[in-house]
Amino acid sequence: MILLLALCVAGRTQAIPAFAQQTGQPCSACHVGAFGPQLKPYGRDFKLYGYTSSDGQKHLPPIALTLQTSFTHSAGDHDGALEGLEPNDNFLGYQQISAYYGGRVTKEVGAFVQVTYDQVGAVAHWDNLDLRYAHPLQIFGQDSVLGITLNNSPTVQDLWNSTPAWGFPYNTSPVAPTPSATSLADGTLAQQVLGVGGYVSWNDWLYAEGTVYRSISRYLAERLGVESSRTTEDLYGAYGAVPYGRVALEHGNDKHYFQAGAFTLEAERYPPGSQSAGAPDHIVDRAFDASYQFKGGDNHFVSAHAIYIHENEDLRADHLENGTLSKDELRTLRADVSYSFKDTLTPSFQLFKTTGSRDAALWGTPNGSPESWGYVAEIAYVPWGKMRSPIPWMNLRLAAQYVSYRVFDGSSRESSLNDTLFLSLWVAVAPLYAVEKSSLPK
Amino acid sequence: MKQSVVALGLASMFAFGATLADPPVTVNQAGLKFSSKDLEVNKGQTVVFLNEDTTSHNITVTDGNGVTVNSGLQPPGTKFEMPFAKAGKYLVTCGIHPKMRMNIVVKQP
């Protein structure tokens, strides 16, 4: 079960040299540590304006490929390993292979489309999707942007790395144990829904967005490879309309950047096979987040994020069918800081804590408590992706990550058996960018 | 190609009509900003866009009819000269950095 839950949150990707191909800019122009997905101010602008910014040159289609290779060691062995996996010390030669279309479609329309093959799930499936239309204009005499987004995961469209879809850690082990209790906003809906929304950014100060999601049909999910890569026990079958609202304030100058915001996500869901049971469960997530970034010349970049998610669960269906409490709540707090030296060496540290009401039938933990807390320490090395890097169409990231639990699934006893060392190599190439470069006159 | 023809046409018009034109005006690009948010020049006057950033830019000048002149990739330390042969309002942006925007009004002297 732990392993299956891990599959749901593993493998977030996104550093693609196809964006470099379109803009002529190195990875470090947009990304902290010269490798995605942590965004600098220009990276946020690029996304805000719909991935359409361009160097004015004609380019081949912005296609990119990534490969992740990893080794995972946990302090203790774990039951329930999937076929082909060991209870511990798993080397995944092709943990995740992804292909992307990333960039401009028309002058005001752009796309980030990712399809992925997971070695653990042994399945190809659709992954992150964010199609955008962005139109710059003046509102009350100030520079503004109006946009539309079509995406398949709440917060995948967000500009800040404080929110779940692109939050730290950016690469996680798909075979490491992870806590059972997860809020709706923390990736539970990723690739299970499709949503359309509108956003506005006003005067580099106010950002507001509203999006409505719906579950994709089982027929579509099967064809997009989603169900077979995830546990159906966790899917909860179907969601009704899922409204998502987001507001953020931001302010920055050449050195400092601040952002503070909030979002809300609300869903009605049915336990598996129980859609005729009457009233569905009603889940409401309210989250507050903040970001800070400091740019110290060309060599130093500090970045910090924090998020608090409070989830209220009115379990009308689950209570009747599965014996859960009628109401539960879950609170999640995470805060991370990273320092990037010359966009090459980036140590990061995160504290995380989840607490909530005790409900063994809901969380599936031995004592019913959803509590887990601990830290993540990581160091990443990215040799390329800078202005003077020798191969602009290729980049790679080597990382060592350690996850430590002081409490895991409600218990501090033996929680350290879940501590995990995760070593990863992440390679990104833009093959058509390479073709462009090779065809240029010397 | 089309953009080059437009630029060439604008340059030719400038060459024929600017014998008494005002001296060029320089707009700097530094810190991912234009040095002026709004600028007024006279018809026939040239604006020199100087890239003082450490990154490349891509000057795009659009007139009221949507006709665009594109500088192509402008590396750091280089300049792009744009003669304005026709009165009107122009929007100048950087194709790479969408928040870089300025307005130029070209007046009939």
Contact flag A298-B54 (C-beta cutoff 8 Å): yes
For the segment A89-130, what is each residue's pLDDT rounded down to a tens digit? 999 999 999 999 999 999 999 999 999 999 998 999 999 999
Residues of B numbered 41-100 whose beta carbons fall under 8 angstroms of chain A's beta carbons: which are they? 54-56, 58, 60, 70-73, 95-99
The total domain count for chain B is: 1
User: Residue A124's pLDDT is what?
Assistant: 95
- Of all residues in chain A, the one with the smallest CA distance to B57 is A55
Domain containing B85 equals 2-107
Percent of chain A with pLDDT over 90: 76
For the segment A75-89, what is each residue's pLDDT rounded down to a tens digit? 998 776 677 788 899
Q: Where are the domains of chain A?
A: 2-439
- The reply to whether A107 touches chain B by the CB within 8 Å rule is no
Nearest to B97 among A45, A136, A204 (CB): A45
Q: Considering only CB atoms, which chain B residues are within 8 Å of A297? A: none
Residue B33 has pLDDT above 90, yes or no: yes
For the segment A129-179, what is each residue's pLDDT rounded down to a tens digit? 999 999 999 999 999 999 999 999 999 999 999 999 999 999 999 999 999
For the segment B67-105, what is each residue's pLDDT rounded down to a tens digit? 889 998 899 999 999 999 999 999 999 999 999 999 999
Query: What distance in Å separates the CA atoms of residue B41 and residue B107, rounded to the nearest whole number?
Result: 6
For the segment A212-249, what is each residue's pLDDT rounded down to a tens digit? 999 888 788 888 998 744 433 444 456 678 999 999 99
- Count other Cβ atoms within 10 Å, centred on residue A144: 18
- The reply to whether A49 touches chain B by the CB within 8 Å rule is yes
User: Residue B61's pLDDT is what?
Assistant: 95
User: Residue A215's pLDDT is what?
Assistant: 86
Residue A402 has pLDDT above 90, yes or no: yes
* DSSP classification of residue B2: H
Query: A166, A165, A168: which is closest to A337 by C-alpha?
Result: A168
Contact flag A29-B55 (C-beta cutoff 8 Å): yes
DSSP helix/strand/coil, A3: helix
For the segment B34-68, what is each residue's pLDDT rounded down to a tens digit? 999 999 999 999 999 999 998 899 999 999 888 88
Instruction: Return the residue matching tokens 């469960």.
Output: A281
Mean pLDDT taken over chain B: 85
User: Residue A344's pLDDT is what?
Assistant: 97
Q: Average the pLDDT over A186-214 and give the result.
A: 95
Q: Average the pLDDT over A42-47 and give the result.
A: 96
Quick check: A371 and A401 in contact, CB under 8 A? no
Query: Measured between CA atoms, how close is A254 to chain B, in angstroms?
Result: 7
Q: Considering only CB atoms, which chain A residues are within 8 Å of B60? A: 56
Residue B24 has pLDDT above 90, yes or no: yes
Q: Sorting pLDDT into bands at 50, 70 and 90, what band is A36?
A: confident
This prediction has a pTM of 0.90
Q: Average the pLDDT over A312-316 and give the result.
A: 95
Nearest to A25 among B60, B96, B101 (CB): B96
Nearest to B96 among A54, A143, A298 (CB): A54
User: Residue A83's pLDDT is what?
Assistant: 75
Residues of A numbered 371-390 whose beta carbons fall under 8 angstroms of chain B's beta carbons: which are they? 387
- The reply to whether A57 touches chain B by the CB within 8 Å rule is yes
Residue A71 has pLDDT above 70, yes or no: yes
The length of chain B in residues reads: 109
Quick check: A230 and A270 in contact, CB under 8 A? no
Residue A435 Ramachandran class (φ > 0 left, ψ -120 to 50 alpha, else beta): alpha
Contact flag A56-B99 (C-beta cutoff 8 Å): no
Contact flag A24-B96 (C-beta cutoff 8 Å): yes
Query: Measured between CA atoms, how close is A128 to chain B, in angstroms?
Result: 24
Phi, psi of A188 (to 5 degrees): -60, -35
Residue A442 has pLDDT above 80, yes or no: no
Write the CB contacts of A308 (distance below 8 Å, at least 6 apart in sequence): A287, A288, A289, A331, A332, A333
Quick check: A301 and A295 in contact, CB under 8 A? yes
Q: Sorting pLDDT into bands at 50, 70 and 90, what band is B21?
A: low
Instruction: Return the residue matching tokens 């955008």.
Output: A132
Query: What distance in Å separates the CA atoms of residue A412 and residue A373, rounded to the nearest whole number?
Result: 9
- Of all residues in chain A, the one with the smallest CA distance to B33 is A254
- The reply to whether B32 touches chain A by the CB within 8 Å rule is yes
Residue A352 has pLDDT above 50, yes or no: yes
Quick check: A107 and A119 in contact, CB under 8 A? no
Class at the top of the CATH hierarchy for domain A2-439 = mainly beta
Residue A306 has pLDDT above 80, yes or no: yes
For residue B25, give Cα distances in angstroms to B15, B40, B47. Answer: 17, 10, 5
Residue B8 has pLDDT above 90, yes or no: no
Q: Average the pLDDT over A287-310 and give the result.
A: 97
CATH code at position B84: 2.60.40.420
Residue A274 has pLDDT above 70, yes or no: no
Contact flag B71-A57 (C-beta cutoff 8 Å): no
Contact flag B32-A42 (C-beta cutoff 8 Å): yes
Percent of chain B with pLDDT over 70: 81
Write the CB contacts of A339 (distance below 8 Å, at least 6 apart in sequence): A300, A301, A302, A303, A346, A347, A348
Mean pLDDT taken over chain A: 90
Interface test with B, best of A52, A55, A138 (most B CBs within 10 A): A55
Query: What distance in Å separates the CA atoms of residue A244 and residue A130, rounded to the nearest whole number?
Result: 15
Contact flag B58-A56 (C-beta cutoff 8 Å): yes
Phi, psi of A320 (to 5 degrees): -70, -40
For residue A32, give Cα distances in angstroms to A279, A336, A386, A403, B84. Answer: 46, 14, 11, 21, 40
User: Residue A78's pLDDT is what?
Assistant: 79
User: Residue A271's pLDDT is what?
Assistant: 75
* DSSP classification of residue A416: G
* Residue type present at position A31: H
